[in-house]
Amino acid sequence: MKNRLSKSLALLLVCGILLSVLLCGCGSKKEKIIIYTSIEDYVVEDLSASLKEKFPDYDITIEYMSTGNHAAKLLAEGTGTECDIIYDLEYAYLAQLDEKKILADLSSYDKGIYYNDLIENENYIPHLRSGGAVIINTDLLKQKGLEEPKSYEDLLKPEFKGLISMPNPKSSGTGYMFLKSLVNNWGEEKAFDYFDKLTENILQYTSSGSGPVNALLQNEAVIGLGMTAQTVIKINEGAPFKIVYFEEGSPFTIYGQAMVSGKETRECVKEVFDYMVKEYGYRYNEKFGPEALFKDKAYKMENFPTDIKYSDMSNNSIAEKDRLLAMWKY
């Protein structure tokens, strides 16, 4: 009897220990949230640090991939993806994902805080407007005795032959937004005719959006069609650059954020997304991308242009992009 009682007590003790271990294990397991992004590495570092501070009890992973791969992976995986939150993806790709019912319903989020031209769908929210500009290397312009161009037509002047750098629309979103801007402003025929003529003066159609600014830095080009934010950073580092906008305005691309459908039911995912939209969005706009985003905030960066007139970038679908790029010959 005593032996049986001892065995029973020992068994209960073992069960108690096992239960304690299991409970401790459950308590120590952190909620895991996965974010897919195509944003620059310095922003990933900042966002990661911010999320770690705000949510120390969550295991948050930020996975970087190029824009094309980012969209393709989500299209292939659908709502079964491990991704919970989509961050920094072009609107055209987000629209594609929404058509496939991959995005969660975000109609409850207040979109009235953003400029009206940034809102096109209830299921994704803007986080960045990335604008382009005509950039002039003023030192090289002066050395060559050239007059500052005042219009896109001026860029066709023979004195600018071999002195203009632009990203190739087929490989660069920055290059494509310049093409799309002129198509929308002038009409398809006139815009493509213009680029046929401009090609005579192009030093190189670069493969990336940063190429023109790099060509200006190396004194290879006098004029570049490039990214405003990148240019301002170089100006603040001492580069002799001037940013100008022609009558057609600044071309731009909008990048957004969303949740994958079904993932919004996880409280931890919604908490993180709420923070990114309602708090981190302001921090990002102030630190990294001060172009017009919020109606109630006007962040300033040294030498960043103010009161920018933006170009007409409507009808920015993947189908339209594919159609226009099929006509691009260079």
State whether residue 37 is helix, strand or coil.
Answer: strand
The DSSP letter of residue 146 is P
Give the per-residue pLDDT at 307. 86
2, pLDDT greater than 80: no
| Range 23-27 average pLDDT | 42
Predicted local distance difference test score (pLDDT) of residue 28: 53
CB 166 within 8 A of CB 328: no
Whether the Cβ atoms of residue 255 and residue 316 lie closer than 8 Å to each other: no
User: Which pLDDT score, from 0 to 100, does residue 27 have?
Assistant: 44
Q: Which two tokens stand for residue 136?
A: 């002039």
- 91-144 residue pLDDT tens: 999 999 999 999 999 999 999 999 998 999 999 999 998 899 999 999 999 999
Percent of the chain with pLDDT over 70: 92
State the pLDDT at residue 26: 40
Q: Helices H, strands E: what count in the chain?
A: 12, 9
CB 36 within 8 A of CB 70: yes
Q: Could you give the 3-state DSSP secondary structure of residue 132?
A: strand
Span 291-308, average pLDDT: 89
Q: What is the mean pLDDT of residues 270-280?
A: 97
For residues 256 and 316, give the distance between their C-alpha atoms in angstroms, rounded to a whole number: 14
> In the predicted model, what is the mean pLDDT of residues 74-79?
98
Q: What is the DSSP string of 199-264?
A: GGGEEEEESSTTHHHHHHHTTS-SEEEEEHHHHHHHHHTT--EEEE--TT-B-EEEEEEEEBTTGG
Cα–Cα dist 186/200, whole Å: 20
Q: Which domains does the chain have, with CATH numbers?
A: 31-129+253-302 (3.40.190.10), 131-252+319-325 (3.40.190.10)
Q: Which residues contact 138 (CB under 8 A, 6 or more apart)?
A: 240, 241, 242
Per the model's pLDDT, the better-predicted residue between 26 and 221 turns out to be: 221
Instruction: Assign 89 a pLDDT band (cuts: 50, 70, 90).
Output: very high
Q: What is the pLDDT of residues 188-217, one digit of tens each?
A: 999 999 999 999 999 999 988 889 999 999
Question: Which stretch of 3-12, 89-98, 130-139, 254-263 has the lowest confidence by average pLDDT?
Answer: 3-12
> For the residues 32-48, what does the mean pLDDT come to?
91
- Write down the pLDDT at residue 5: 45
Q: Considering the chain, what is the average pLDDT of its residues?
A: 90
* pLDDT above 70 (res 75): yes
Q: Which of 260, 240, 281, 279 is nearest to 136 (CA)?
A: 240
Q: Is the pLDDT reported for residue 324 higher than 90?
A: yes
Is pLDDT above 70 for 247? yes
Select, from the ranges 73-77, 167-171, 299-303, the one with the highest average predicted confidence (pLDDT): 73-77
Residue 173: strand, helix, or coil:
helix
Task: Inform me whether the pLDDT recorded for 50 exceeds 90.
Answer: yes
pLDDT of residue 287: 84
Cα–Cα distance measured from residue 255 to residue 285, given in angstroms and rounded to the nearest whole number = 12
> CA nearest 216: which of 231, 229, 228?
231
Residue 57 pLDDT greater than 50, yes or no: yes
Q: Is pLDDT of 250 > 60? A: yes
